[in-house]
Amino acid sequence: MKSFSIPTLFKSNLIGRIKEVRRLRDKLKRDFSPTKLDFGPLEVHLSRHFGFCYGVENAVETAYRIIEENPDKRIFLLSEMIHNPAVNADLLDRGVRFLQDTKGASLIPFTDLNESDVVIVPAFGTTLETQERLQKQGIDTYAYDTTCPFVEKVWNRADAIGKNEYTVIVHGKPSHEETKATFSHSKAVTPTLVIKDLSQAKLLAHFIRKEQSAEEFYDMFEGQYSDGFNPDTDLARLGVVNQTTMLATDTQEIVEYLREVIIDHYQLSPDQVTQHFADTRDTLCYATNDNQSATYGLLQIEADFALVAGGYNSSNTAHLVDLCAEKLPTYFIKSADQLVSRNDIVHFNNRKKDEIASTDYIPAKDKVVVLLTCGASCPDAVIEEILRKLVSFFPDSTSPDDVVQAWEETLIGS
């Protein structure tokens, strides 16, 4: 896989060494067990997979190269480059300006743009409608496009499903930039509906079975269906794709549920299923799959609590938080600054969508065991800072440098 040149401020020699040793010993990615780092009174288990994915590395490298190559031009990002505050803050410091916020609200009018301006499309991609608006201002939306290839793969899958006369169901968050982009590209080809979760899939089943009226459908799924969507006719043939950062288990559950509803409603034999339900696999990106599998591996460890780092608006990170929270106390933080002290932590409540403060998050015991991971848009430098900050709360701990060196020597010698 292609390697990228990432700005030094986002890298970590310490974390990079751990990743490289794990990569060399497990090139086929079959081992999802975490890396155990024993500092004495503190034991940290670091997830097997975490941090910048292919799409993020591509977007970050491209953005910084564009800045360097265009010193005399105004440079704009369509919205946040990725869902990480450290990366976006640094881009702003370098003079890059955002045209929209993450919800699509305008921060700078497109009419202020001119042909000489640089507009970078972020890793999430963008809608056909936004492309058209930019093109009217003389902006070539493909000149500085960092759309993740795995997102484009979803668009291609939706396009293929649609051209085979299926309606596309998108499992995703309706307000997320990526889902909006996928919805836009899909609805240009075929009727398209976004559903948030299994509960909405179960609501949809009533309309597949024609148990409720079209008017009730439009009310129930307001803002989630394409123009002209007719539930009386457009739910007879379905295909499912998903936002690339959703939980794999959630998407699979939705696919299996809707497939069974279709089979039961139309009384289909196994060889007739594709007449009404497209034979599609989930469209998660490799990093989402790897990170989720590694989190399941991480959760095999009995620990006192988990720390998950990333931007609060990062979908893939939020899902890792949810996975961990099912088993043990979990704290969603964006940086080491959130670890205020050994007693105090500021973290994000993933359910209430609010930042809160908690106390006594580190238990008073001789040996504290912590699980540590982060999302696909979190720099390795942030994980190193969190690790060092955590260790600093235990005065009798061995230093991270010594622990990692000893860990390397043990593995290399084995």
Q: Give the integer Cα–Cα distance in Å for 399 and 39.
A: 7
Identify the three-state secondary structure at position 19.
helix
* Rounded Cα–Cα distance for residues 245 and 235 (Å): 25
CA distance 13 to 387: 13
Category of 353 on φ-ψ map: left (φ > 0), alpha (ψ -120 to 50) or beta = left
Please list, in sequence order, all residues whose beta carbon lies within 8 angstroms of the beta carbon of residue 192, skipping any fewer than 6 positions away.
158, 162, 167, 168, 169, 170, 183, 186, 225, 226, 229
CB-count exposure of residue 407 (10 Å: 0-12, 13-18, 19+): middle
Listing DSSP states for 65-122 in one string gives: HHHHH-TTS-EEESS-SSS-HHHHHHHHHTT-EESB-TT--BSS-GGG--TT-EEEB-
Residues annotated catalytic, as ranges: 178
Cβ proximity of 329 and 395 under 8 Å: no
Number of H helices, E strands in the chain: 13, 13
Sheet containing 118-120: order of strands: 97-98, 75-77, 118-120
Q: Are 88 and 34 in contact (CB under 8 A)?
A: no
End-to-end CA distance of the chain: 28
Chain length of the chain: 414
In what helix (H) or strand (E) does residue 58 lie, and over which residues does it extend? helix 54-69
Contact 113, 141 (CB under 8 A): no
